[in-house]
Amino acid sequence: PPDFITLFLRSQRKTEERGRREIKRMGRAPCCEKMGLKKGPWTPEEDQILVNYIRLHGHSNWRALPKLAGLLRCGKSCRLRWTNYLRPDIKRGNFTPEEEDTIIKLHEMLGNRWSAIAAKLPGRTDNEIKNVWHTHLKKRLPKPDQSSSGSAEPARKRARKSRVPKKGEAP
């Protein structure tokens, strides 16, 4: 039979393993929680600093970029701001009917893989495509439970089966 010390050591090992699993599950702390880093909306001045820095030096190292550019933001925030809003090759304005048709067809093939869809639409970001899909395009498609006949008549509800009460139970 195991002695007290063996039982104690086993218990310690299990506690340590649980602790390691807990740390793995929690993952890394969000990057913007570091001391002094700004969160929330970007100012026009911050946008200009980021654009000017990238024009002069490029964007090879997003983690180092904010400090080098003099921004109090995390690298991920800078990368997302550049990728989704500030890049000069981003198309502005409404989607054309052709772009919308392309999104619908690609969504049929690829599902919600917005980056893969964005790769087929130069100048449009995955985030922008996702937003257009959810706000405008998804509503256009027929719902899967509707018949393919295209009838405007509403679908009839099924009648519920009546339950036969058990012996001694009130109907």
- pLDDT tens per residue across span 101-115: 999 999 999 999 999
d(CA 73, CA 61): 14
Q: Which CATH superfamily is domain 40-88 in?
A: Homeodomain-like (1.10.10.60)
Question: For residue range 126-164, what is the model confidence (pLDDT) as tens digits?
Answer: 999 999 999 999 888 877 765 554 444 344 445 555 566
d(CA 86, CA 65): 15
Q: What is the pTM of this model?
A: 0.60
Secondary-structure class of domain 97-137 per CATH: mainly alpha
For the chain, the straight-line distance linking the first and the last C-alpha, in angstroms and rounded, comes to 63
- Residue 51 sits at the vertex; the CA angle it makes with 60 and 130, to the nearest 5 degrees, is 80
Q: Where in the chain is the domain with CATH 1.10.10.60?
A: 40-88, 97-137
